[in-house]
Amino acid sequence: MRQPADNIRFRAGLVSVAVLGLLTDYFISTFAAFCVVAGVAGSVMAWFAAGALIDLSCKLADASAAWNRARAERYSVHGGNGFYLSVDQKTGEMATFQRQRKAAPLTRIEADEQTAEAVPVMPQIAESLTLFIAGEQGAGKTTLLSHIAEDRANRGHDVLIIDSHGYDGKYGPFPICGAGRNYGEIDQAFSDLLGEMDERYQRYPDNYKTVSVLIDEFSLLFRKCRNAKEFLESGMTEFRKVGLRLVICTHSLQARYVNMKGGMDMMNGVEKLLLRYAQGERWGELSKYKGHVARCILPGPYVHGSGARHTGTGDLNPNKHRGERERHDNHDRYDAMTPDPCLIPDMNQDLYIFDPDPEPVRRVYESHREKMMVEMYEAGHSLNSIAKAVWGSSNGRRTKQIKGVLTQFKLL
């Protein structure tokens, strides 16, 4: 028979079990409620996230469609040297864009006719006051300089060519100052030109005989000629007002090649012609004062014509430069041997030029390789044999280069 104390302990145990059950049910219900709330919150967040993703996808799709429409309406042509030509196919509107360094935004420049299509280069640079010509070896700098010399001479300019790597006949009938790396003669010519500039400014604004100074291999002269830097600075800023014009050929327009570190902004006021050469084709990109860039057609191989009539250095004391007196003697002989066109019946006076002692065609080669290609082809060698002699091997790319050179000299 249970005692009262045992009954009390039994009832206490039952109460403890009941309380434990209630607590367990409470925690289970609370956990279930938490899970339900968390699930609902997760669903809501997932719904919002899905909506955001859908909205983002729609925006991206709209942007892609707009870009595709823009590309369909406009197209851009890379013009080299950081310039792009953008054309609207619907309206025909054209604009030139220039990408600045370090990912700066595009700058819009209204296009002109010169930007839209290729133009012959000689009429574009005929009256250039200061012109820089840049291009790698074989791009045609020497050939173009020969054409410029004859064109300026035909316009009545006195022409002075300075080239430390020059040789007799490199520029046709034009004599060369400083040929054979005669840097002393070139430095003296710089001094003479600076003195001529001072003298002309003292007589300003008299009418002066225009003098065109053409310089090749200019980047070599700063280390050899102490007057080169002063000559360049004065040439770019002061020559044009007193009838002195400057054409400079160099391999690059970077500051270290033209000795203008810290002063490249001066190049904004001059014309720049970049010569290109690829796969046997040569062309130029002419940058004018306002940033317009024109793709230019270069002249073919130089064959001197009547330029010998007007090759002088005027007031620059021609006795200082090698070959000047011989040039004047040839000038007088040419005029003495040219008959009066009025005495020739049925002949157009403007087109008729009589030369009783014609000279053979003079070709100006940009490199020894070009000369070797032309001479071997004229001797009857095949293109494969020419390629093997020039490069040591023959392939399609080499053959294409040879054809480009032969086409330039009108042999194909």
- Dig out the tokens for 290 from the structure: 């306002």
pLDDT recorded at residue 65:
65
Measuring CA to CA, which residue among 217, 193, 235, 210 is closest to residue 152? Answer: 210
* 241 exposure class (CB count in 10 Å sphere: 0-12, 13-18, 19+): middle
Q: Is it the case that residue 177 has pLDDT exceeding 90?
A: yes
Q: pLDDT tens across 25-38, in order?
A: 777 878 777 777 77
d(CA 149, CA 183): 21
Chain centre to alpha carbon of residue 259: 18
Going by their DSSP bridges, the two strands 293-297 and 119-120 should be labelled as: parallel
**How does pLDDT run across 134-165, given as a tens digit for each residue?**
888 878 888 899 999 999 999 999 999 999 99
For the chain, the average pLDDT equals 71
Q: Check pLDDT > 50 for residue 331.
A: no
Class of domain 121-343: alpha beta
Residue 44 clears pLDDT 80, i.e. is over it: no
Residue 396 has pLDDT above 70, yes or no: yes
What local confidence, expressed as pLDDT, does residue 151 receive?
A: 92
Higher-confidence position of 161 and 5: 161
Tell me how far CA of residue 137 lies from CA of 134, 143, 259, 350, 387, in angstroms. 10, 12, 20, 38, 19
**pLDDT score recorded for residue 311:** 38
Could you tell me the CA-to-CA distances from 287 to 121, 132, 258, 332, 394 in Å, in that order?
A: 11, 10, 17, 40, 38
Indicate the length of the chain as a whole number: 412
Question: Could you give the CA distance from residue 220 to residue 228 in angstroms, rounded to a whole number?
Answer: 10
pTM exceeds cut of 0.75 = no
Q: Per-residue pLDDT for 170 more than 60? A: yes
Helix, strand, coil % in the chain, rounded to nearest 5: 50, 15, 35
Q: What is the CA angle 241-246-251, rounded to 5? A: 150
What SS3 class is residue 44?
Answer: helix
Q: Tell me the pairing of strands 293-297 and 176-177.
A: unpaired
Share of the chain above pLDDT 90, in %: 12
Confidence of residue 189 (pLDDT cuts 50, 70, 90): very high
Bridge partner residues of 32 (DSSP)? none
C-alpha distances out from residue 169 to 206, 214, 359, Å: 35, 16, 12
Q: What's the pLDDT score for residue 37?
A: 77
User: Domain-by-domain residue ranges, the chain?
Assistant: 72-115, 121-343, 368-408
